[in-house]
Amino acid sequence: MELLSLSAPGWGVNLLQGLANSIQIAAGAFGLGLMIGICGAWGKLYGGPVVRDLLEVYTTVVRAVPELVLILILYFAGTDLINRLLGAFGYPPTDINGLVAGICVLGVVQGAYSTEVLRGAIQAIPQGQIEAARAFGMSPGLMLRRITLPAMLPFAIPGLANLWLIATKDTALLAIVGFTELTQTTRQAAGTTKAYFTFFMAAGVLYLALTLVSNVVIARIERRSRRGMPPVGAH
C-alpha cells in the first residue's frame, strides 16, 4: 500500500497526475467532438447532396474502423503532415504536443458518433417548434441557438452521456502511442516497482470513480434539461 502513497516511495502523485491528463484529454476530445457533431448533424440534415455524402463516408468509416487503428493513422499522418509543412516553410521539425494530438485524434473519432447522436436528437424535436421559429422570422443561426439546440438537449443527453464515458475510456488507448495519461503512468509505475496487480487495480478504481461521479453529474443535467417535460414513460 505504501507504493500508492503520495510521498516519496509512493506513486500516488504520478497516478493522480495521469488521471488529470486523462480527464483533460477526454474533456477536450468530447468538446471537439461536440463541435464536429453539431456541424455534422446540421450538414447531414440541411446540407447539400455533396456535403451529405462526405459526412456519410466520414461517420461510416470512423464507426467501422477500430479506434486504435484510427489513432495510429491520424497520429502518424498528422505529425508527418505538420512537420512537412514546417519543413516547406523552412522551420525545423517539432515534436507535437501530446495533449493536443490526443485531443485532436480522439475528437475526430468522437465527432462521428456525436454527429449521429445529435442528428437523431434534432429529428426528435416536434416539427411544430421549428415551424413556429420560422414563422417568427428567425434566421437559421438564431433558430439553432434559441430553439434547436435547447429543444434537442433532452433527446441528446443519454447518447452524449454515453459518449462522454466512451471518451474517458478511450484515453487509455493513447497509452499505446505513448502519452502519459493514467494507463501509461500506471504501466510505468508497475514496471518500475514490479507491483503490477496493485497498480492496475488502483488505476481501475480511479477510472471507476471518474465514471461514477460522471454518472451523478449526468443524472442532474438530465433532470434539469427535462424540466417542464412530462416524466419519462408517461404517454
User: Minimum distance from CB of 54 to another protein (Å)?
Assistant: 7
Query: Which of 133, 173, 185, 189 touches another protein (CB under 8 A)?
Result: 173
- SS3 call for 47: coil
The cell numbers describing 130, all together, are 421549428
Nearest to 25, CA basis, from 103, 108, 138, 101: 103
What residues from 104 to 143 belong to the interface with another protein (CB under 8 A)?
none
Say how far apart CA 235 and CA 121 lie, in whole Å.
19
* 69 part of the interface to another protein, by CB under 8 A: yes
Nearest to 100 by CA among 18, 28, 5: 28
What string marks each residue from 18 to 57 as x (binds another protein by CB under 8 A) or -? ------------------------------xxx--xx--x
Task: Please state, in angstroms and rounded to a whole number, the distance separating the CA atoms of residues 234 and 183.
Answer: 43
Nearer Cβ to another protein (147/189):
189
Stretch that binds another protein, among 35-43, 119-127, 208-216, 220-228 (CB under 8 A): 208-216
Give the integer Cα–Cα distance in Å for 94 and 208. Answer: 36
Contacts of 125 (CB under 8 A, 6+ apart): 148, 151, 152, 155
Residue 234 CB-density burial (10 A; 0-12 exposed, 13-18 middle, 19+ buried)? exposed
- Give dist(CA 61, CA 71) in Å, integer: 13
Indicate the residue among 22 and 148 with the shorter CB distance to another protein.
22
176 binds another protein (CB under 8 A): yes
CB closer to another protein out of 130 and 218: 218
Task: Please compute Rg for the chain using Cα positions.
Answer: 21
**Helix (H) / strand (E) containing 92:** none
Which of 30, 42, 58, 207 is the binder for another protein (CB under 8 A)? Answer: 207
Kindly state whether residue 72 participates in binding another protein, applying the rule CB under 8 A.
yes
Q: Which of 55, 183, 185, 189 binds another protein (CB under 8 A)?
A: 183
- Single out the residue of 17, 144, 153, 169 in contact with another protein (rule: CB under 8 A): 169
Please report how close the Cβ of residue 134 comes to another protein at its closest, in angstroms.
Answer: 26
Binding site residues, another protein, CB under 8 A:
48-50, 53-54, 57, 61, 63-70, 72-73, 76-77, 165, 169-173, 175-176, 183, 186-187, 190, 194-197, 200-201, 203-204, 207-208, 211-212
